[in-house]
Amino acid sequence: MVSSALNNIKGFELPATLQTAKYSAIESLRDGRRVEIRALRPEDQVDLLAAIDRTSAQSLYRRFFGAKRDFSEKEVAFFLNIDFADHVALVAVVEEEGRAIIVAGGRYVVERPGVAEVAFAVIDDYQGQGIGAALLRHLAKIARDADLKEFTAEVLPDNIPMLKVFEKSGLKVRTRREPGGVHVELQLA
């Protein structure tokens, strides 16, 4: 409330990291349902872990390049403690049975000036609805505003749906097959 009031004062603008930490947008899924794409919050821990529990072993394997079901305290801290400068994370939230739940997440981590690695996970029940593409669009907007020029991603060769999201993103895409994966570069400019 205060931040939006301050933004209306002529000449006053919130720092970009604070604006990004409050990021929120509404999208429509392919089936017509609404989804909120918003900044990940520290208080999302329980809902984020619940989303992981609803994700299949195959989808987690594709995201983490190995069998993954449990996360250490250090990993959980990494996923939740976002500075919204060098590490930006968004989640997709839908309403199920009258309750808002996280069904996907996307993030980027700056690797070097102008370049960030991007990664996504969508729970199986919501794959194929355009959520990955929506997360990519919003992360790309935030990254451009932060003067990033390129996203990189490592994708398993059999993760055709993720490769198609990148291919259909409207961004200039370069791929390179490497041992164990596909290296993807997405030009944001």
In-domain check, residue 182: no
Q: What's the one-letter identity of residue 89?
A: A
Q: 118: which strand partners?
A: 108
**DSSP tag of 169:** S
Task: Convert the pLDDT of each residue in 83-134 to its tens digit.
Answer: 999 999 999 999 989 999 999 999 999 999 999 999 998 998 999 999 999 9
**Residue 75: inside a domain:** yes
Distances (CA, A) of 147 to 106, 143, 151, 186: 19, 6, 12, 14
Flag whether 98 is in a domain.
yes
CATH number of the domain encompassing residue 69: 3.40.630.30
Instruction: Provide the whole-model pTM.
Output: 0.85
Q: How far is CA 183 from the centre of its chain?
A: 18
